[in-house]
Amino acid sequence: MAPRLQLEKAAWRWVETVKPEEIRPEHIELAYRVNLPACKRGTCRRNCKGNPNCLVGIGEQAWLGDIDENAFHNIDDPNSERRDKNTFVGLTNLGATCYVNTFLQVWFHNLELRRSLYQCHNSRAEEHDAESGTTDNLFTFCCIRFKTRTYRQRSLFSLGFTLKDAQEFSKLFLSLLEDTLSKQKNPHLQNVIQRQFCGQFSYVTVCNECGRSSALPSRFYELELNIQGNKNLTECVTEFLKEEKLDGENRYFCESCQTKQCATRRIRLHSIPPTLNLQLMRFVFDRQTGHKKKLNTFISFPEQLDMGPFLEGKCVYELSAVLIHRGISAYSGHYIAHVKDARTGDWYKFNDEEIEKMEGKKLQLGTEEDIAETVKSQTRKPKCSKGYHCSRNAYMLVYKVQEEENTDPSWTNVEVPAFLQRLVDQDNHKFEEWCNEMADMRKQSVDKGKAKHEEVKELYELLPAKDGEPYEFIPLEWLKKWLEDSTATKEIDNSLFLCCHGKLHPDRVADSKRVSLQAAQLLYERYGGGPRMDGSSLCRECVGQRCRVLRLKNQLNEDYKEVTNLVKRTLSGEGYWVGKASLRSWRQLALEQLEEDEHETKHKFGSELSGGATGDEMKTFNEDIVCCHGALSILETERKLVSSEVWTKLREYFPKAPEFTQIQESCQQCLTLEQEEKDNEAVSKMMALDQKNQLLNLFNEKNRPTLNKWPEDTDVLYIVPLFFVDEWRKFIRRPTKSSPVSNVGNTLLLCPHGGFMFTYDSLINGDGQHVALLWPSEWEVISRLFIVDQAISIHCFRETSLSDATTQYTTQPDICWECRESFLFQQQRDLREYTQATIYIRKVIEDQRMMKEAAPELNASSSEAEEDKEEVPKVDGETDLDFSQSQDGAKRLKLSDDGTAASAPATNMTKLGGIRRSTRHRKLRGEKALIVSANQTLKELKIQIMHAFSVAPFDQNLSIDGKSLTDDSATLGSLGVIPESIICLKADEPIADYAAMDDVYQVRMPEEGFKGTGLLGH
């Protein structure tokens, strides 16, 4: 079948020879494509949307022919989750808890630990169900061996919510078990953790001078072995026990010599537990980056470990578990465990829910060693001799002491408490019920699918409509859903397919299918819906309208060429006014108008016109010469006179366009307004020239008085807002573009009580940038030309005595000290309540001193742009006011309701001591900007500095204005750190204590237990 566009063109090809009034029924059927041939199966790869008779590719393929029962449902076989006999149960990953699962599997396979936990008496555990935190871990141990399902989903509140540190979890969980078991009445259970995991060693220090030896005994539950620079496990243990020299500043205080002496120190093993946990320190702190990193170093370890050389006597251990971290980063990856079954000697790989048994009772690390292949520096895997294994991802090895083979089967059997067995049986019973429920659901889906299969086979054969027989239209999307869904099908909805005349719209015939009356009758009986659309639903009105539009579209290009030629001819006779913009774009406007006419019969689902005018663009032809009063525009340059022949052609496409004949007069209202505007401009020019001549020095900024050097020939100067002067100058420069200034708003400089807000000293030191000083003669002119709400003046009184001469300055009105002090207090407080402000950290190397910012002089009468000004804080005691821009353009002092001044908004310049700080900061070498808040602590700031300068917090010495910052818990606001402050950073030499960096990240309040759990250290 031809493509959809070709079918649509073919359906309307007849309009070229048929006028709208000549349309007959056969033309309507052509428009609705009723007589198109139906497609046969196998000829169409997909459904022909342009052909309402094509019923191929709508989803029938899945129902014709034999269908497998599994196609009627998406429910997996629940028996696939049933555990095989003599295998173990996996544990669900609750989100970043894979390492918890590995430790639980390792501890479960420790028969002595498992047996002791089962014997532990806990009345609360026996009373609660399997979901309580008290019982969950014991229940998990029991499920690993006896659960029917292949995996166990643990409860969250038994282990906490966010667990990430594997080694810390191991230590604290064993500590919790030790504390819990020590409270048991059975003496055999009280020290089971010590018997299984606890060993003893001593730190032995020998004085080089007198030879005195001192030992400090200690216990251990695991040995932390450094792997950097070592190749095998023996080298790691040897380095752990090697002798260390104490000299220089690390000399040892000898009690015999009673002074510090050089000495040697080593670790001496006394006893090793039956279960030996060896932690390989793969995660170390990198001082250069400030983060932990993983060492992907190959380490070789034996299946049988002889600890005899490190102890007195023979002591051989067998490998029982290997814990693996897959990944190249210390902050991501996955944990799995290889564990040896103590009963059978088989090796298993535990990967959360997945359990894999190794072949041949041998440990096979498999592909875990290929995970780190993306590391830049790759080392070839060394060859391992028989009885050895090599790994770059192993981070913990578990060895058990080698014992004589025990033939007693009771040695490997661990009796389960009755209450735990009962919980397991209940859980297994729930699993069986779930399996039966899933099986019933599968059966129901299959039965429903089979019934649908029979229905489709029956109705699909009846769908095609034969020539000459009654038919109806059914939506294509409904047919697809009816064939695709095995669930309940919605009723048939044809409301979106109707035109404004209540019949089938010609454009929607491509989205519907013509079916036989018999098939339609069965579908409506079973599923309901409507309104039904049969052969009488073909709309003659819509077809006629489309015919007219298409004929005009075809004629448009010819008419465009004709109009273009006619416009070039000399006008003779009566003419019509046409907008030049409309004349340039009339073809595009006509095309949009035709498309609008083509879509006007569409239902509300119809799309908006694409390519139509938007925003302020012209939407109607000739509207560009219509004034706001609806008459002919007075702008003759924007219109053109065309002949009546041209206008007749244009009227065919724009019958509603405004019409203006050649004799039509322009809008009288617009002419009147134009004359008034010209008169007003002339008055403004005269006014500006007169004011400029009377205040020429003020306009040119010449011969201006200053407060730094009071003029000799006057005792009084007048003050007006600088904003008034700036607005007045704008009017003088461009009187026709700017509004004239009518009044002087001096109340902007007064408080609500009518008092002046500036002192003589503050005007000299910075407040002068907000005001302008006037000579008395200038004030007399301003008082005459403008409306002044309040006169403000500053007076100079000179007193001369025999000893010296004194000068005093007063203002009229007087200064309101109450409002001024309240504003300054509020301003200082706001400086310590900022958020998301910028400060600068300047790193000082050795004795290099911090450079002070240079402060440019302030000019009270400066007219430069504010963004080019820079100012520095003034000395103590000097104050300032702040201004904000009001809606009417005036600068107003922001005051609170009670009359006290409020702080300026964040968009204005922040000031200290009354002077705004510079909005620009010239960064120096070795200086970086940080974003901080006033409520942020100094410790949090040090964390930011660590990431910016790679300097550890305990190596940072911070100071501001010569004052050291030492209180890590204090906020920046309380320490006097304000926006744009410069903090000096001096870094100490780094120390070798890598472990101390772990405290850096503990910014939050200390938790009650490990990661919010009940695991507490001792």
Q: Are strands 304-306 and 316-326 parallel, antiparallel or unpaired?
A: antiparallel
- How confident is the model over 4-18, as a mean pLDDT? 82
**What's the rounded Cα separation, in Å, for the pair 389 and 347?**
14
Average pLDDT, the chain: 77
Catalytic one of 54, 98, 142, 539: 98
**Percentage of residues of the chain with pLDDT beyond 90:** 16
Give pLDDT, residue 477: 86
- 118 confidence band (pLDDT: 50, 70, 90): confident
pLDDT in tens, 930-964: 999 999 999 999 999 999 888 888 889 999 988 99
- How confident is the model over 710-737, as a mean pLDDT? 91
Q: Which residue has the higher pLDDT, 147 or 310?
A: 310
**Percentage of residues of the chain with pLDDT beyond 70:** 77
Q: Which residue has the higher pLDDT, 199 or 599?
A: 199
What is the phi-psi region of residue 406: left when phi exceeds 0, alpha when psi lies from -120 to 50, beta otherwise? beta
**What's the rounded Cα separation, in Å, for the pair 8 and 11?**
5
**What's the rounded Cα separation, in Å, for the pair 962 and 972?**
16
Give pLDDT, residue 656: 85
- How confident is the model over 72-98, as a mean pLDDT? 71
Q: Quick check: 339 and 350 in contact, CB under 8 A? A: yes
What is the residue type of 232? N
Q: Are strands 837-843 and 982-987 parallel, antiparallel or unpaired?
A: parallel
- 871 confidence band (pLDDT: 50, 70, 90): very low
List helix spans (H) across 40-165.
Answer: 98-108, 111-119, 123-127, 133-146
Please check the confidence at residue 506 and state whether its pLDDT lies above 90: no
Give pLDDT, residue 743: 92
pLDDT in tens, 579-590: 888 888 888 888
Q: How far is CA 216 from the centre of its chain?
A: 54
334 annotated active-site: yes
What is the residue type of 658? P
- How confident is the model over 18-40, as a mean pLDDT? 85
Q: How far is CA 42 from the centre of its chain?
A: 50
**What's the rounded Cα separation, in Å, for the pair 306 and 316?**
4
- 434 confidence band (pLDDT: 50, 70, 90): confident
Please check the confidence at residue 1001 and state whether its pLDDT lies above 50: no
From the list 695, 911, 397, 454, the residue with the least C-alpha distance to 687 is 695
For the chain, domains (ranges, CATH) are 4-69+449-538 (3.30.2230), 542-661 (3.30.2230), 677-812 (3.30.2230.10), 817-987 (3.10.20.90)
Q: Quick check: 774 and 754 in contact, CB under 8 A? A: no
- How confident is the model over 705-725, as a mean pLDDT? 90
Please check the confidence at residue 983 and state whether its pLDDT lies above 90: yes
Give pLDDT, residue 119: 80
Give strand ranges (E) for 272-402: 275-281, 283-286, 291-294, 299-302, 304-306, 316-326, 334-340, 347-351, 354-357, 388-391, 394-401
Give pLDDT, residue 795: 92
Please check the confidence at residue 350 and state whether its pLDDT lies above 60: yes
From the list 304, 275, 334, the residue with the least C-alpha distance to 107 is 275
Please check the confidence at residue 717 and state whether its pLDDT lies above 90: yes
Instruction: For residue 739, list its beta bridge partners.
Output: none
Catalytic one of 334, 599, 603, 921: 334
Please check the confidence at residue 857 and state whether its pLDDT lies above 60: no
**What's the rounded Cα separation, in Å, for the pair 241 and 228?**
15
Each residue of 394-409: b (16+ CB within 10 Å) or e?
Answer: bbbbbbbbeeeeeeee
Comparing 185-194, 412-421, 596-605, the range with the smallest average pLDDT is 596-605
- 865 confidence band (pLDDT: 50, 70, 90): very low
pLDDT in tens, 774-817: 999 999 999 999 999 999 999 998 877 767 778 888 999 988 88
315 annotated active-site: no
Which residues 6+ apart lie within 8 Å of 634 measured at CB? 627, 666, 667, 670, 671, 674
Whole-model pTM: value is 0.46
pLDDT in tens, 648-690: 888 888 888 888 888 888 888 988 898 888 888 899 999 999 9
- The single-letter DSSP state of residue 618 is -
- Spell out the SS3 assignment of 965-1010: ECCCCCECCCCCCCCCCEEEEEECCCCCCCHHHHHHHCCCCCCCCH
Give pLDDT, residue 884: 34
